[in-house]
Amino acid sequence: NTSSLMMLDRSKKIPIALHTTNTGYEVFLRDSRNNTQLDVATAQRLLKEFGLTKASGPINPAAILAALCADYTAEIKRFITSVSETQKIQVSPHILLFNQSQSILGFDSMISKALGAPANYLDVTDMLTPNDVTTYFKSDWPAFIPLMGASIR
């Protein structure tokens, strides 16, 4: 599983750099399972309900995943530095998260704290017609972004 990092020029609204890492949701899930001996469904629930924000009794996912989180944010910092140096631009990041990142509670806060920059989930609800379906899927919209992008021709 991988993560894609994209640097956007906000004024021109175009990507200026792209980087893929070998760390994605499945790696966070695997590390959680390997360190707790939980089955897949229980480990997924642990990440979704407790994630990186609070301990769950004898299991503290934030502590278990601390080294992985540090490596992941270091990779993002290297990417930002590389783009800044090669493009000769001042980078003031605002991190938009999507896909499976919302499946780890507190992921946005961890990224924001580690990078000292705002990080939030891409919210598309204001672009959708409010109805029962959009309300029901509201917390899952970040996972649909790649799907919607792939459908645009």
Q: What is the pLDDT of residues 30-59, one digit of tens each?
A: 999 999 999 999 999 999 988 898 666 678
Contacts for 56-64: CB closer than 8 Å, 24+ residues apart = 61/32, 62/106, 64/31, 64/32, 64/35, 64/36
Q: pTM of the full predicted structure?
A: 0.81
Q: What is the pLDDT of residues 117-144, one digit of tens each?
A: 998 887 777 777 888 887 887 777 766 6
**What b-and-e string marks burial along 82-109, b requiring 16 or more CB atoms within 10 Å of the CB?**
ebbeeeeeebebebbbbbbbbbbbbbbe
Indicate the pLDDT class of residue 9, thresholds 50, 70 and 90.
confident
Indicate the pLDDT class of residue 93, thresholds 50, 70 and 90.
confident
Q: What is the pLDDT, as a whole number, of residue 151?
A: 56
Residue spans of beta strands (DSSP E) within the chain:
3-9, 14-21, 95-97, 119-121
Q: Output the CA–CA distances (angstroms, integers) from residue 59 to 26, 117, 122, 144, in the order listed.
A: 19, 29, 30, 30
Query: What gap in Å lies between CA 28 and CA 33, rounded to an integer?
Result: 9
- 145's tokens: 């972004």
In the predicted structure, residue 13 carries a pLDDT above the cut 90: no
Query: What gap in Å lies between CA 132 and CA 125, rounded to an integer?
Result: 12
